[in-house]
Structure 1
Amino acid sequence: MIFNFIKYQIPIWYYNLKPSSDFGYFPTEKQLEENQFVLQKDLRYVSEESQKRDLAWTAFQSGFINKNYKPGLNIWTSVKLPLEDEYLFLRKNFHKAWVVYTLIIRIITFHNPIKEVLGFLKHKTVKRQDYSKQVYEYSDYNDFKSQLINSNPLVSVVIPTLNRYQYLKDVFLDLEKQTYRNFEVIVVDQTDDFKEEFYGGWNFDLKYWFQKEKALWKARNEAIKSAKGELILLYDDDSLVDDNWIEEHLKCLDYFNADLSSGVSLSVVGAEVPSDYSYFKWSAQLDTGNVLLKKEIFYKIGFFDLQFEKQRMGDGEYGLRCYLNGYKNISNYKAKRIHLKVSEGGLRQMGSWDGWRPKKLFGPRPVPSVLYLSRKYFGKDLSRLYLLKTIIPSLVPYKLKKNKNLKVISFFLIPFVFPLICYQIYKSWNLASSKLEHDFLTPKNIK
């Protein structure tokens, strides 16, 4: 972990784990100088090691990607940093309420309360930093002539669908307008009232079949296995994209010599891309509704884990697996999509819209696959911190989860719902244990 206290805020973040190849995710000061990216060390940190780590973190968050992929700053071994430096890092990167949360956790877990409070108060006036104001510019990107695009590789667009023909029609219309033309579309249709006639007359190479079992990850796996293309573009059935969507994915993959191009998703037509997704950066996620990746990856590290079927985070697990196996994943703001998230149809109708809010009162909280992922890769201790950090906000209904007032109210609800929450977590933990016992990935698959 780049700073030890980051575990209290994002305990199951990809970059808390060491990958098989370090591509300089967290660059050294020398690497930044070589690429003429001028950043100033924060001298408020007591430790020189903290200053180096904060500089590397700032470059990471500002979108610096060293295309030479030389190993960067070694942050993979644990180093004890001064308490005041740990709290300074938190204040610069997280809401002040979560800094207080960290202080409370530290005190109730028997750390010296006097030292903790003094470290907490040392930089109490420090404000949260906005990294989008100092973004690293790839000045030659717009004029970059992609040899990958010129080689005209076949791209296989994979779309599972369920009861959404009216939205799938718009998906197909967007695909017909693509500036890059060498692609095939593979649709795995699980619609209750399957309409084969829907698939006639489209102006692109289209392959489809009906899958009786309503299973998202099975559908994607089977589609990928049938794909003729060397590149797989995973897509959703309720999305809208620009005409150059495929082209921008290919260009990003080529420019950064990457293995995955992860496009960004917006939920509102005409909305601006959020500031932290408005530039190229290392990706900390894999969105199976908008990602281009090399097909060979699936045959080297395996396909999607079917234990996530009808649950959540199957795409997050696969992205983490790619990262740990040394594949380069770029967050590509130029390949954006509008994700409509329509309430009817879709594979979500089989499972949950959210990993933390059970459909039934006595259902497991979180969805067992969430703990399956966290315990498998991050262990029990970080999984417990993950639960602690996320369980309280989950008391707010999904559609109202951004309401700040309700988040505050949720803290006062804890005494009333504590027994229920304990039961829900206990149930989820046991179900996750069962998944771990039947893990389909043998050790040889995780390098």
Structure 2
Amino acid sequence: MFKFFKYIHPTWYYNLKPKLDYAYFPTVEILVKQGYDIEKDIEYNSIDAQNRDLAWRAFQQGFIINTAEQGLDVWQEIKLPIEDEYRFFRKNFHKLWAVYVLFFRLITLHNPFKELSAFWKTRNVQRQSHVLNHFEYPGYNNFKSKLIEKQPLISVVIPTLNRYDYLKDVFKDLEQQTYKNFEVIVVDQTDDFQEDFYKGWNLDLKFWFQEEKALWKARNEAIKSAKGEFILMSEDDIRIPETLIENHIKTIDFFNADVSCGVFFPQGSTIPKERNYFKYAEQFATGNAMLRRDIFKKVGLYDRQFEKQRGGDGEFGLRLYQNGYKLVSNPIAYCIDVKAPEGGLRVAGGSWDAWRPKKWNAPRPVPSVLYLARKYFGNKKAVLMVIPSVAPSLIPYQFKRNKILKLMSLLLLPLLLPLLIFQVTKSWRLASEKLKQGAMIAYLN
């Protein structure tokens, strides 16, 4: 991809070359063969930049093919004109990110005359929206899925912790599913375990109490006990439409995909525009994703190095992608995130999220985040990930999307720099211990 991309997305799945390419970044020839017509941006100085920009736009607009096919090799490092790098950045990201990149390039001793000249020449480039021109798949609505006709057994996996009031709504939604051939497996870690809670539901329900508060252990044990051909990873504080299971299966069949990654959105809002269409998935969330059970035999279960920390689902998704599995982001199989104020991972962990510790002397980010970044992308990319992420993490969790507070966090950065250095250093050290110990990944028999 473009070299400057690493400055703000150094640990993106698609920065790594997979074992199988599904024309993730298509060439002009592939687009034409599939019936799509996207014009190159001839304002770029180099042909290579024009081709990479075209491939990037196709990816972001939701280009998907059903068979493995070699697309543009964006993983091959080539030198592009600096002006083209800035042009790509301005077209795709907020203008403040271009300022950040310029600043970072200058303080890392790149030629200031070339940098400032390229930055200035591209000052009038307007940011573009991929959402407005995304690809459509009109055949989906009338698609008769042979996979659904076969009625494979689905195993729905739900770990829970102190959330019976929310879990009952999940059960109610599951009872209303249009697809009926599924079992529900619950691993309950609740302090006051109530066996009676599980009585009376119109579900094929299995459950057991797990004394250890361990999310990834719970998911792994549930997967081991599952009888289904497919596993649907779910959660205990969501609301789901009655067609959720059906649309996961249908999407896997329609796109010949290995994984259907359902979309989340918070209660009271709607699906974000940039995720409201089919595209190759850029993340894997264990709260709403379906895949074949046999995949766990080949890539392993969840890495328990992430226990009581963050990023276990992201690491697993990256493992799937690297091993040549095809992940499709599925807006039809959505779920609503209730965001329960109590229970769940935050009870068992020591942070509000990946970057916000609950105590001043706790590591920032949680060590598992650096473990993931360093393991797959290396130390330099991990540092590039930390630099733009630290300041926004100073904003309290409940206000993390507030744009004004994000800007104010930059003012706090110099004041809190010694503390942040202490926290990041501690996280780096703990991540080093994880790397030395190695992955804790078991495999299905």
TM over 0.5: yes
1:318 aligned partner: 316
**1:103-182 equivalent positions in 2, closer than 5 A:** 103-182=102-181
- Separation of aligned partners in 2, 1:381 and 1:372: 13
Equivalent residue letter for 2:258: D
> What is the deviation of 1:353?
2.6
1:436 aligned partner: 435
1:384 aligned partner: 383
> What is the deviation of 1:348?
2.3
Residues 59 and 280, structure 2, Cα contact 8 Å, conserved in 1: yes
Residues 154 and 231, structure 1, Cα contact 8 Å, conserved in 2: yes
Give the match's secondary structure for 1:345. Answer: coil
Can you give the 5+ residue segments of structure 1 that lack an aligned partner in the other structure?
none
- Separation of aligned partners in 2, 1:305 and 1:272: 32
**1:322-361 equivalent positions in 2, closer than 5 A:** 322-351=320-349, 352-361=351-360
Residues 155 and 183, structure 2, Cα contact 8 Å, conserved in 1: yes
Give the match's secondary structure for 1:338. Answer: strand
CA deviation map 1:20-56 (0-9, x unaligned) = 1111100010111111211111111000010000001
- Separation of aligned partners in 2, 1:36 and 1:353: 46
- Separation of aligned partners in 2, 1:214 and 1:424: 25
> What is the deviation of 1:440?
2.3
Give the match's secondary structure for 1:166. Answer: helix
Equivalent residue letter for 2:112: P
Over the aligned positions, Cα root-mean-square deviation in angstroms equals: 1.2
- Separation of aligned partners in 2, 1:33 and 1:177: 43
**1:362-401 equivalent positions in 2, closer than 5 A:** 362-401=361-400
- Separation of aligned partners in 1, 2:231 and 2:238: 17
Q: In the alignment, is residue 39 of structure 1 matched against residue 38 of structure 2?
A: yes
Q: In the alignment, is residue 97 of structure 1 matched against residue 96 of structure 2?
A: yes
- Separation of aligned partners in 1, 2:376 and 2:139: 38
- Separation of aligned partners in 2, 1:134 and 1:37: 11
Residues 88 and 123, structure 1, Cα contact 8 Å, conserved in 2: yes
Can you give the 5+ residue segments of structure 2 that lack an aligned partner in the other structure?
none
> What is the deviation of 1:129?
1.2
- Separation of aligned partners in 1, 2:401 and 2:168: 31
Residues 161 and 343, structure 2, Cα contact 8 Å, conserved in 1: yes
> What is the deviation of 1:246?
0.2
Give the match's secondary structure for 1:156. Answer: strand
Residues 20 and 68, structure 2, Cα contact 8 Å, conserved in 1: no
Q: In the alignment, is residue 275 of structure 1 matched against residue 273 of structure 2?
A: yes
1:292 to 287, 290, 302: 290
CA deviation map 1:73-94 (0-9, x unaligned) = 1111100000000001110111
Identity of aligned residues (%): 57
2:304 aligned partner: 306
- Separation of aligned partners in 1, 2:197 and 2:412: 49
- Separation of aligned partners in 2, 1:245 and 1:414: 43
> What is the deviation of 1:399?
1.1
> What is the deviation of 1:347?
2.5
1:75 aligned partner: 74
Give the match's secondary structure for 2:371. Answer: helix
CA deviation map 1:365-401 (0-9, x unaligned) = 1110000000000000000100111111111111111
Give the match's secondary structure for 1:300. Answer: helix
- Separation of aligned partners in 2, 1:356 and 1:161: 23
Equivalent residue letter for 1:391: V
Residues 161 and 347, structure 1, Cα contact 8 Å, conserved in 2: no
- Separation of aligned partners in 1, 2:165 and 2:347: 16
Residues 47 and 81, structure 1, Cα contact 8 Å, conserved in 2: yes
- Separation of aligned partners in 2, 1:83 and 1:6: 12
- Separation of aligned partners in 2, 1:335 and 1:109: 45
Residues 22 and 71, structure 2, Cα contact 8 Å, conserved in 1: yes
> What is the deviation of 1:441?
5.6
Give the match's secondary structure for 2:11. Answer: coil
> What is the deviation of 1:202?
1.0
Q: Which moved more, 1:322-331 or 1:66-75?
A: 66-75
Give the match's secondary structure for 2:379. Answer: helix
- Separation of aligned partners in 1, 2:133 and 2:240: 28
Residues 287 and 315, structure 1, Cα contact 8 Å, conserved in 2: yes
Q: How many residues align?
A: 442
- Separation of aligned partners in 2, 1:405 and 1:159: 37
- Separation of aligned partners in 1, 2:238 and 2:378: 35
| TM-score w.r.t. length of structure 2 | 0.98
Ranges of 4+ aligned residues in structure 1 off by more than 6 Å: none
Residues 392 and 406, structure 2, Cα contact 8 Å, conserved in 1: yes
| TM-score w.r.t. length of structure 1 | 0.97
1:407 aligned partner: 406
- Separation of aligned partners in 2, 1:247 and 1:98: 40
Give the match's secondary structure for 1:39. Answer: coil
Residues 304 and 440, structure 2, Cα contact 8 Å, conserved in 1: no
> What is the deviation of 1:126?
1.5
Equivalent residue letter for 1:319: G
Equivalent residue letter for 2:283: Q
1:17 aligned partner: 16
> What is the deviation of 1:419?
0.8
Equivalent residue letter for 2:231: I
> What is the deviation of 1:69?
2.7
- Separation of aligned partners in 2, 1:101 and 1:10: 13
CA deviation map 1:184-213 (0-9, x unaligned) = 000000111111111111112100000011
Equivalent residue letter for 2:153: L
